[in-house]
Chain A
Amino acid sequence: MSVDTKWTYDEDYVKEYSQQRGEPNWLTEERLAAARLADKLELPKPEKTNIKTWNFTEFKHDAGVKETIDDVENLHEDVQKLIDRSTDEQNLIVFRDGHPVYRSVSKRLEEQGVLFMDIETAAKEHGDLLRQYFMGKAVNVDEHKLTALHVALMNGGTFVYVPKNVQVEAPLQVIYWQEDPEAALFNHVVVASEDNSEVTYLENYVSFQEEQKSVANIVAEVYAGSGAKVSYGGVDHLEKGMTTYVNRRGYVEKDGRIDWALGQMNEGNTVSDNTTILAGDGSYADSKSVSIGRGDQSQNFWTHIIHHGKHSDGQILTHGVMKDKASSIFNGVTKIEHGATKSNGEQTERVLMLSEKARGDANPILLIDEDDVTAGHAASVGRIDPLQMFYLMSRGLPRSEAERLVIHGFLAPVVNELPIQSVKDRLREVIERKVY
């Protein structure tokens, strides 16, 4: 595969695209600046994974506006299965190739002053508010070529804004459904939770037919204000032709907290960055992610917690299952900055190898510039424990069933955290399909 550095999508295209969407000037300007940067910047260099030959250049940028749908019954059957119907307080947005096609927001949410809308509408109707967060403290446009391209070509996404002291009880669910097998997704999510507020957000990235060559370039920014609590769940299951860059970042202020639960089940090559900046004293982050590698896919997962605040606490748990000839690198990084006294950082990376031809690396990294802290890590790469198998089989479970139980158990830390039963069930099904 050749590396094409000539972007089909130049500044003129970006300008016209932005204007067509009726975006405010500041956003058009940010896009144009990003387009210029994209030409100059290099691709990111994830540890131990060479992505230079990956396709980040060939795609159809926008599949065109889709008709909205009034009733979930008219959505794709497999999309419907993800939807939480157990509640009257449904808060849901469904995107089809980046364009919002269905939206249902409970009355209570509106009364509370919570904003939950697609990012295109947010840019038009709440531009000044969005601007405070968009490519803010969590992500910089000039980090590398992919962050710049992301801003230049952003074509979908969600804006969530929770005012001070507001507790959102029902989860906010978003489904990003890619239907057009050539369509690219440049999705941007902002979740801004003001001081002492609380919100749960759950997203699914799904496609049901193998993409031709295409690209997903996803950035999520999560801001937890003082004392705010954000639970962020994500299940990615994009089909094989899709090359994915997904960057989910959090920024936590004093006594705030973000809990991540990520089921990273893409079938194609994937680079994932999940970084949380613990800025305030007493801030907390819990980053859990699980993945399965199969076929000949290559993936690189980077889970990073950066401690600035005193008494900040960061927990990382990464579990990966590797089969066939798949290759995955799992990097866990706990960085404790000077001055972040009494902080604590713990991490666990475990990789279960189901095939001799697969490759799985677990790299726990502690970078500590402060003496008065506690930190620890545990990492392992190995096969299923033969004694566990003996135990389970001695109760009559056939080998395949015993293995199944061990694998589901191994991935349970994330599955169990997801706030919507239908999404849990679907993730279990995906696990089942991928492993067997």
Chain B
Amino acid sequence: MAASTIKIENLHVEIEGSEIIKDFNLEINTGEVHAIMGPNGTGKSTLASAIMGHPKYEITQGSVHLDGENVLEMDVDERAKAGMFLAMQYPSEISGVTNADFMRSAINARREEGDEISLMKFIRKMDEKMDTLEMDQSFSQRYLNEGFSGGEKKRNEILQLMMLEPRFAILDEIDSGLDIDALKVVSKGVNDMRNPEFGCLIITHYQRLLNYIKPDKVHVMMQGRIVKSGGAELAERLEAEGYDWIKDELGIENEQVGDQQQEA
């Protein structure tokens, strides 16, 4: 099976006139897991949302290509159909729409008319994935994310990942707010996805998650761009020593982007 590549070049992203991402470059192949680490406010989540087409972010320069196709020209749903997926840090709640109905619509949206997934096959798959994620069956009939706890929302994002089986997934702080047991479960879900036809970009503050999902490459983001890259050992050093040594090494005083103090 042919490998796929997502290629981000010289990306610049603004939100409400202030530039958050500056000259960001990264290439991910299927079969690889990349992790982006970095302190708060360095543009990590903005990067994730902008690549998927978040309405608040404006891309002012640069390009994102998926196997040569220009992603930035695609509508959000076309990006998903091309094989991209974003597990969101703050997923929306949609009242009145059950988790199961939503996921079935999403699966069928990627299939040709007349080739919809059969109800039995869908239920079997959903049951299986929910078991892996140790989710109660009642979640399939609950309204999408409505009244879910933080941890339940994260599991539900990974459930969607497993149901939709994209080629590339961006996991935006999928570990935040999870206790150690939930973290293990969520990691198991992601690890189940690992194969030569799946590429993944994990965005996280903490090295903790990377104990369970071993990355092939680790990148450190500061001031809206990658300032250092390495293997899994880089994450371990960051865990042990923090970020200051990188700042010293590169002569960075303030790692944050512009005057944005929060992780946008």
- Residues of A whose CB lies within 8 Å of any CB of B are 385-399, 401-402, 405-406, 408-413, 416
Contacts and interface: CB of A to CB of B under 8 A. Distances in A.
Contacts of A401: 105, 109
B77 to A, nearest CB: 4
Interface in B96-128: 96-97, 101-102, 105-106, 109-110
Contacts of B86: 394
Contact of B94 (A391, A396, A398, A411): A391
B77 A397 contact: yes
Given A389-B55, A393-B53, A409-B96, 17 more contacts: A385-B92, A388-B92, A388-B94, A390-B52, A390-B76, A391-B88, A392-B102, A395-B109, A395-B160, A396-B106, A398-B109, A401-B109, A405-B94, A405-B97, A405-B105, A412-B95, A412-B96
A391 B172 CA distance: 13
A306 B54 CA distance: 46
B94 A409 contact: yes
A406 B97 contact: yes
B66 to A, nearest CB: 14
A414 to B, nearest CB: 10
B142 interface: no
B91 interface: yes
Nearest to A402: B77
Contacts of B75: 393, 399
Most buried by B among A394, A398, A411, A416: A394
A409 B95 contact: yes
B92 A395 contact: no
Nearest to A406: B94
A391 B77 contact: no
B143 interface: yes
A67 B108 CA distance: 48
A397 B97 contact: no
B79 interface: yes
Contacts of A390: 52-55, 76, 92
Contacts of B76: 390, 393-394
A396 B53 contact: no
A393 B74 CA distance: 12
B186 interface: no
B164 interface: yes
Given A386-B55, A390-B54, A397 B106 contact: yes
A291 to B, nearest CB: 15
B79 A394 contact: yes
A253 B77 CA distance: 53
A408 B96 contact: yes
B77 A398 contact: yes
6 contacts: A392-B92, A393-B76, A394-B52, A397-B109, A405-B101, A409-B95
Contacts of B64: none
A406 B93 CA distance: 10
B92 A413 contact: no
A227 to B, nearest CB: 31
Interface in B52-86: 52-55, 75-77, 79-81, 85-86
Contact of B80 (A385, A386, A389, A396): A396
Contacts of B80: 393-396
Contacts of B81: 396
A388 B53 CA distance: 13
A396 B97 contact: no
Contacts of B54: 390
Contacts of A408: 96-97
Given A391-B88, A395-B106, A396-B164, A409 B55 contact: no
B200 to A, nearest CB: 16
A330 to B, nearest CB: 18
Given A398-B109, A401-B109, A393 B77 contact: yes
A412 to B, nearest CB: 3
Contacts of B97: 405-406, 408-409, 412
A405 B81 CA distance: 18
A274 to B, nearest CB: 21
B31 to A, nearest CB: 23
For the complex of A and B, list the 6 residue pairs with the smallest distance between their C-beta atoms, beginning with the closest: A409-B96, A412-B96, A396-B80, A393-B76, A395-B106, A391-B92
Most buried by B among A397, A398, A408: A397
A392 B105 CA distance: 10
Contacts of B110: 396
Contacts of A409: 94-97, 143
A183 to B, nearest CB: 36
Contacts of A387: 55, 92
Contacts of B88: 391, 394
Contacts of A413: 96
A94 to B, nearest CB: 31
Contacts of A396: 77, 80-81, 106, 109-110, 164
A263 B105 CA distance: 25
